[in-house]
Amino acid sequence: MSRLILASGSAIRREIMTGAGLDFEVIVKPVDESAIKTAMLNDGARPRDIADALAEAKALRVSRLEEGLVIGADQVMVMQGDLFDKPTSLDEARERLKRMRGQRHELIGSVVVASGGIPVWRYVSETKLWMRDFSDAFLDEYLSGEGDLVTKSVGAYRFEGPGSQLFSRVEGDFFSILGLSLLPLLQYLRDCGAIAS
C-alpha cells in the first residue's frame, strides 16, 4: 500500500477521506492561488482549467518534497459567467447569497494525484445547483446560525449542514459539492494498488 497524503487544509476534505476509511496524512505547503487564478483569468482560461491548475499546484508542491501519492483538490464557483472567491466577511456572504437566490450556479472541482513531482491522475467534476427563492428572514436566520463558517466555502454555504436548506435542486455528486470527488478517487486508488480492491 502506498503512503497517501492530502495536500489540503480543508476540514471537509479531511472528513470525507477519514469517513471513507483511508489512512492518510495531511501535509499542506503554501501555493499562491491568487496569482495562479489571476494569471489564468488574464489568459482567458476556462473555470475548469483554473480549478484543475490549482489542484495540480497543491499536489505538486507537496509531491516534490514527500514520497507517496499526494492528493490535491480545489473548487471554483461560477454564476452567470462570473468566477467567485470565498467571501471574506458575513456581509459579503449575505450579498453573495442574495445574488445567488433563485439562480443556478456551478461548482467545478478538480482532484489531482501526484507522485514524484508528476501528476499521475486527475478528475474534474461539474455540479449544477439551484438555490431556492428564500426569504430575507430565512437568510438572516441562516447567517446567524452559521456565523463565520460561511466564509470557509466559495458559495457561502455548507451543503452538508444547514446550507442544504438553501437549495431546490442539484445535478451532480454529493462529494463533489463538498469539494472532493471521492468515488472516482477511490477507484483510482484501487486501480493503482494504493488501497485494497
Q: Residue 185: count other Cβ atoms within 10 Å of its Cβ.
A: 21
Distance CA 119, CA 101 (A): 38
Does 74 qualify as catalytic in the annotation? Answer: yes
Cβ atoms of residues 185 and 177 within 8 Å: no
- Strands, E, within the chain: which ranges? 4-6, 25-26, 69-79, 82-84, 104-115, 118-131, 167-171
List the catalytic residue out of 49, 74, 91, 191: 74
From residue 155, alpha-carbon distances to 63, 100, 144, 178, 197 in Å are 29, 9, 16, 11, 35
Residues that are catalytic? 74
